[in-house]
Amino acid sequence: MSSTEQGTSSAAPAEPTTAPESAAAPEVPESFYYVHGKDKVVHKVSAGALQHSALIHGMISNLGYTEEQAKANPFPFENIDGDILQMVVDWCNQHKGKPTPPEDTNLPKQKEKLFDLVLAVNYLEIKELLTYCCKQVAMMVKGKSPEEIREIWMIPTDAEDEAAEKEAKKRAGKEAAGETAAAAGDAK
């Protein structure tokens, strides 16, 4: 299926295992692509698994890379942490060629990673996983009171929002004053 290259992006990925095929079907070699996140760890993923990501699928659909070209040109996702990308790749591999069940138990459960995971999945446009992640986030506030929700989702109170707004206005005023002073200096 896929393998992860721990270390550097230049490390050679492991050979893909091939799925058993019926004797009658002609052998079609599966194509593989390579992705890496912020940590530069390269993940080898089959085109089939990558189909879950509308973003990557769109990128690779017209490339026609050979194995060598694909290996030499891993897709960089510098905005995604390595461990998050690993989770996403694992999920894509587990669901290669399969529809996602409504209650997917093969999904990352770590609440502390959920925020980054949601962002990554949204960016990579993996619709089913995004729906699941959003459900997980929504579940966090099930049965909770507004005070509890405020804590869980870090929602500032009205007073905090007002203070932040005042602060932002003050800062903007100072910046504007600074720019005016600088412009006046230039004019002199």
Minimum CB distance to another protein, residue 171 (Å): 19
Using the rule CB under 8 A, which residue among 94, 118, 125, 128 binds another protein?
Answer: 118
What are the contacts of 70-75 at 24+ separation with CB within 8 A? 70/31, 70/32, 70/33, 70/34, 71/12, 71/13, 71/34, 73/34, 74/9, 74/33, 74/34, 74/35, 74/36, 74/42, 75/33, 75/34, 75/35, 75/36
Using the rule CB under 8 A, which residue among 82, 122, 125, 128 binds another protein?
Answer: 122
Minimum CB distance to another protein, residue 146 (Å): 4
Q: How far apart are CA 134 and CA 176, in angstroms?
A: 40
Which of residues 115 and 178 has its CB atom nearest to another protein in the complex? 115
Minimum CB distance to another protein, residue 132 (Å): 10
Using the rule CB under 8 A, which residue among 7, 69, 97, 135 binds another protein?
Answer: 135
Q: Under the criterion CB under 8 A, does residue 158 sit at the interface with another protein?
A: yes
Residues 6+ apart with CB under 8 A from 130: 118, 121, 122
Which parts of this chain interact with another protein (CB under 8 A)? 111-112, 114-115, 118-119, 122, 130-131, 134-135, 137-138, 140-146, 149-158, 161
